[in-house]
Structure formats: C-alpha cells, structure tokens
C-alpha cells in the first residue's frame, strides 16, 4: 500500500460524496469527534477519504519510535481513561525494556455508569481507534494488539470486527503492514461484565483467561504485563487522540487546553439540565460555563445544587468551586478527579447522601474481592450510611465514615478500592450539613425515609 493508493481511494470517494460538519454546540471544537455521525463506520473508504490511515502511514514511513513518542510528549496528551497519566511518558517506558514479545491493548471496557464516549467512538469511528492502536504498537514495538470490549457493547463488537477485517484486507494489519516490513495484528476480547476488568491489570488477567482481579503493582505492565510480557494499555479516547496528533502535529492539539491539561476532551453531561449530551471542548472550561452555558442550565423551576464530576471515582463539586476550570488539576482544589469526563448535574430533587450510598453499593458489587480494605471496608461503610439514611445514625458515625474512607483509600490494592470512597469523602467535605440533617431525621430532597417513627 502506497501513498498513491491511499490518495486514489480518497479521491474516488470525494468525487461522489461531500462530508458535512456536525456539532452539538457552536462552541465545540471537534478534533476527536470529527468523523462521528459524518462517515459510515462500516466503510473504510469513507474513513480514508477523511485522511484516514495517513497518520499510521506517516508513523511507519517518516517517523520512528523515538520521534512518535516525542511528538506525543510534545502534544501534552494525558490518558483519557481518568488516570490522566501522560501518554508519551507511558510509551517511553517501553523503550528501555527488552523482550521477545510486547503487547498493546485498547481498553474499551468503559464501565463507569453514565459514561458513553468510548462507545460512541467505537461505534461511529472505529478506524480512528484501530489506527491509533497501530501507531501505539509502532511506538511500543508491539506486534500484537488486543481490543478488550465490554460485553454489553454489541454494536461496537461488530464495528470493530468489521474495521479490523477491512484494515487487514487492505494490508494495514497482518504481516508486513503498509508494505513497510512491520508486523502487527489485532485480536478482540469480550469482557464478561465486570467494572474492575477495566483496571489494566485485571483486564490482563481476564485476557489471560483468569478471574478478573487486579494484580499488585509493581511490577508495572510496562515491565511485566499480559502473559508476563511488557504491555501498554490505553483508553479508546486516548488512542483516537493519538491518531489526530500524529496526523496534524502536536501543535494542532496542544494549542487548546491549560498548562497541565492540553487538548480537547469529550465531556458527557447527564442529569438535571436542559441540554444534556456530549460535547468536545477544550480542557479548562469552567463548570459554570459548561452547565449554564452549553447545557443551558437547570430544568424549569429547579435549581442546581451540586455537580458530580468523574462518576463513581469522582466527587461532588459545590457551588463555590464552579468557576474553577475542568482539568486534571481539579483534584488539588476539590479532591475530585475529572475521570473520563462524565458529569452528572444534580438539583434539589436528588439526595446526595442517597447517591453516595448508591456509589458505595456499586463499588462493593464491582469489587473483585481480592484485598480486605475494599472488600470489607466498603461493606462497613454501607452499613453505617444505611443506618444514617434510615434515621438511625449517631453523630460519631460521620467521623467513623471519614476514617473508614481514608483507610480504604490509602490501603487498597487497586484503583477501584482507592476511588470508591471519593464521592462519599467529597460529599462529607462539601455537604456535611446534609448528613447532619439526616441524623436529625430530615432529608431535604424527600428521598430518604429517615423520619423519626420509621422502623
């Protein structure tokens, strides 16, 4: 496959079809979402017509491992899964590790309730991810890649499968890809419906056919990962961004965003606003602008009381901090992680204490059961919080909840245990008065049955 051939396909498609531009809001900047709802996801030709596979071609012919990693570093891209680890640095670990086989995995296990951006990309622009995986493979010197897709994403299995098949047919995957002497192929693995299998080490256990439980780190996957070999795990959105960065250069990406958080991010907003949905915006936009500007504020007659950023691994942000920018430094202000970009807007009809309980129950349900702080601690938190919600709480319970949360946070083996307490901790920090009201048998939102004569 030569450049001419790629151009040939492109021109033949462009001759018959004009691609429109789509945006959900005028303020959006669509870098990553450019092809979404624009091209036919089943057509590799239409993807090529939009400069598809040019980046992978460029990576193979004009660049080498070092220069790809350098470009990604320059772009300032940080992992879009929530961990926000700089992708360039992650990839550079593999430079110094010697092994006969290396792997790269695309983490498409999107398990966070309320998040759906990975799904949109998988279903509507599959080739961008496949291409990102090819570039990642070159940078990490991997000859084998995996897609780990969550079970429920049936449509995504199909689009990705078709995309891999089409790419293989055109010689973008398999032996000697793009006729450049490099071998790389991709296999799909379907999860079995477990949130923790999105955690990279549990994901690798799952691919190996074992029970999906997290492994202790170190050794880090970059040293000993899948089947004991060095492995790089990246999120769907990260890989889609990589494709765009290599195609258009680091500057096209890092001109957006803030000092420590470069580029655009896709925010998915749900809950009590007029215009929920997903929007690709530069990192650093304020919560207020997002909620009141782009999402057009609260539902008629209601007031927004809080915003939950980052889902079950994030936290509640109180009104005084709504002017702070949404970026990866949010943690330092509010102990909240931006996570994968999921934002839930809460108004007075929702009880935050009750929501905390829901997240804890989610955490316990999804805990792999391996380490004791997460397995036992979350259970105890739930017991205490339940008694508060049922109006049987005692004042010292709040202190106990805080202590338990801190303990679980610092002692757990993997990110799941470390993060399940975040919503509760942030709620205790920002909305302690709500908990105290519950102790006094009152629930503002009228959700909890904490009345005095409730048995």
Partner 1 sequence: MIKVNLNGTEVEVEKNQTILEVANKIGTYIPTLCFLKGVNETSQCRMCLVEIEGVRGFKPACATICSDQMVVNTNSESIKNAVKFNLELIAGEHTFECWNCPREEDCELLDLLRYFDIEHKYSKNRNKFTAPNSVINGCNSIVFDSGKCVLCHRCISTCNKTTKKDVISFHNRGENTIVKPVHNLNISESGCIYCGNCIQNCPVSAITESNSVNEVLNLLQNTNKKLIVQYDSRIKYFLTETVADYSENLAGLFQEVGFKHSFDLSVGEAVHDFLLNDEIVKNKTVIEASDFSIVNYLEIYNYDLLKYLSKVKSPHTLQGIFLKQHYCKDLGLNAEDTIVVSILPNVSAKAEIEREEYDYKSLKDVDYVLTFRELLRLFRRVGADVNIYDYAEQEKLENINYLKKINYFTKNQKTTTTLLGEEVAVDYIVDINTFAETFKQIDSYGYLNFNFSNSFEFYSGGQHHIKSYDLNQENVYWKNIAKINDYIADEEIEITDIEKIYKKLLNALPEKTMLYTDFQKRKILNNK
Paired strand residues for 231: 103
Alpha-carbon distance values, 169 to 42, 145, 184 (Å)? 14, 17, 13
159 binds, among ligand FMN, partner 1, none (CB under 5 to 8 A by kind): none
8 A C-beta contact, residue 163 and residue 127:
yes
The pair of structure tokens assigned to 122 is: 């998988």
Alpha-carbon distance values, 434 to 81, 212, 332, 398, 437 (Å)? 31, 37, 24, 11, 5
Distance CA(423)–CA(118), nearest Å, equals 23
Per CB under 8 A, the segment of 234-242, 252-260, 271-279, 373-381 that binds partner 1 is 373-381
CB of 244 or CB of 438, closer to ligand FMN: 244
46 binds ligand FMN (CB under 6 A): no
404 binds partner 1 (CB under 8 A): yes
216 binds, among partner 1, ligand FMN, none (CB under 5 to 8 A by kind): partner 1
310 binds ligand FMN (CB under 6 A): no
427 binds partner 1 (CB under 8 A): no
3-state secondary structure string, 423-449? HHHHHHHHCHHHHHHHHCCCCCCCCCC
110 binds ligand FMN (CB under 6 A): yes
- The strand pair at 231-235 and 342-347 is best described as unpaired
End-to-end CA distance of the chain: 73
312 binds partner 1 (CB under 8 A): no
CB of 109 or CB of 125, closer to partner 1: 109
Answer for which of 58, 158, 168, 379 binds partner 1 (CB under 8 A) is 379
8 A C-beta contact, residue 59 and residue 246:
yes
234 binds, among partner 1, ligand FMN, none (CB under 5 to 8 A by kind): ligand FMN
110 binds, among partner 1, ligand FMN, none (CB under 5 to 8 A by kind): ligand FMN
Residues 373-432 that bind ligand FMN (CB under 6 A): 414-416
257 binds ligand FMN (CB under 6 A): no
What number of chain residues touch partner 1 (CB under 8 A)?
33
Q: Which distant-in-sequence residues (6+ apart) come within 8 Å of 288 by Cβ?
A: 322, 323
- The nearest distance, CB 361 to partner 1, in angstroms, is 10
Residue 258 main-chain phi, psi, to 5 deg: -110, 180
- The nearest distance, CB 328 to partner 1, in angstroms, is 15
Distance CA(328)–CA(429), nearest Å, equals 20
8 A C-beta contact, residue 434 and residue 427:
yes
418 binds partner 1 (CB under 8 A): yes
Place of tokens 């890092």: 254
Please tell me whether the peptide bond between 326 and the residue prior to it is cis, using omega within 30 degrees of 0.
no
> Binding pattern to partner 1, positions 183-222, x when CB under 8 A?
-----------x-x--------------x-x-xx-x----
- The nearest distance, CB 120 to partner 1, in angstroms, is 29
8 A C-beta contact, residue 263 and residue 241:
yes
338 binds ligand FMN (CB under 6 A): no
- The nearest distance, CB 123 to partner 1, in angstroms, is 28
Element housing 138 (H / E): helix 126-140
Alpha-carbon distance values, 240 to 8, 43, 246, 334, 427 (Å)? 24, 17, 10, 29, 34
Per CB under 6 A, the segment of 55-63, 167-175, 195-203, 275-283 that binds ligand FMN is 195-203
Answer for which of 41, 52, 111, 126 binds ligand FMN (CB under 6 A) is 111
CB of 305 or CB of 378, closer to partner 1: 378
Residues that bind partner 1 (CB under 8 A): 194, 196, 211, 213, 215-216, 218, 364-373, 375-380, 383, 403-404, 407, 409-413, 418
Residues that bind ligand FMN (CB under 6 A): 79-83, 85, 87, 90, 107, 109-111, 195-196, 198-200, 233-235, 238, 414-416
């Amino acid at each position: 496959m030569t450049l001419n051939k790629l151009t040939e396909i492109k021109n033949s498609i462009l001759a018959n079809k004009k691609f429109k531009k789509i945006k959900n809001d005028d303020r959006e900047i669509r870098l990553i979402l450019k092809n979404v709802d624009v091209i036919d996801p089943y057509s590799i030709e239409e993807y090529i017509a939009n400069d598809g596979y040019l980046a992978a071609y460029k990576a193979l012919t004009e660049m080498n491992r070092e220069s790809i990693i350098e470009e990604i570093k320059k772009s300032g891209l940080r992992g879009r899964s929530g961990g926000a680890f700089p992708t360039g640095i992650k990839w550079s670990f593999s430079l110094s590790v010697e092994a006969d086989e290396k792997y790269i995995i695309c983490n498409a296990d999107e398990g966070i309730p309320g998040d759906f951006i990975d799904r949109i990309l998988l279903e509507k622009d599959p080739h961008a991810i496949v291409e990102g995986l090819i570039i990642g493979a070159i940078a990490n010197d991997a000859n084998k890649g995996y897609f780990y897709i969550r079970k429920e994403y049936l449509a995504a299995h199909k689009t990705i499968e078709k995309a891999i098949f089409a790419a293989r047919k055109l010689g973008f995957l398999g032996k000697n890809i793009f006729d450049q002497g490099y071998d790389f192929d991709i296999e799909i693995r379907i999860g079995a419906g477990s949130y923790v299998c999105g955690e990279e080490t549990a994901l690798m256990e799952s691919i190996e056919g074992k029970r999906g439980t997290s492994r202790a780190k170190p050794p880090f996957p970059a040293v000993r990962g899948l089947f004991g070999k060095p492995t790089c795990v990246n999120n769907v959105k990260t890989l889609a961004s990589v494709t765009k960065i290599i195609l258009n250069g680091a500057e096209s990406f890092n001109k957006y965003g803030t000092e420590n958080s470069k580029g655009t991010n896709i925010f998915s907003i749900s809950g009590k606003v007029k215009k929920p949905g997903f929007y690709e915006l530069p990192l650093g936009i304020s919560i207020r602008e997002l909620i009141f500007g782009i999402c057009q504020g609260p539902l008629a007659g209601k007031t927004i009381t809080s915003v939950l950023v980052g889902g079950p691994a994030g936290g509640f942000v109180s009104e005084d901090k709504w002017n702070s920018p949404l970026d990866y430094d949010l943690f330092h202000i509010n102990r909240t992680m931006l996570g994968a970009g999921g934002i839930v807007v809460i108004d007075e009809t929702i009880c935050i204490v009750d929501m905390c309980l829901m997240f804890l129950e989610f955490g316990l349900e999804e805990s792999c059961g391996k380490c004791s702080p997460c397995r036992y601690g979350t259970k105890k938190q739930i017991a205490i919080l339940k008694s508060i919600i049922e109006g049987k709480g005692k004042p010292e319970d709040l202190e106990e909840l805080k202590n338990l949360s801190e303990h679980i946070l610092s002692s757990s083996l993997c990110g799941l245990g470390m993060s399940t307490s975040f919503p509760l901790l942030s709620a205790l920090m920002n909305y302690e008065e709500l908990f105290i009201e519950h102790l006094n048998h009152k629930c503002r939102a009228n959700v909890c049955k904490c009345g005095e004569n409730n048995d």
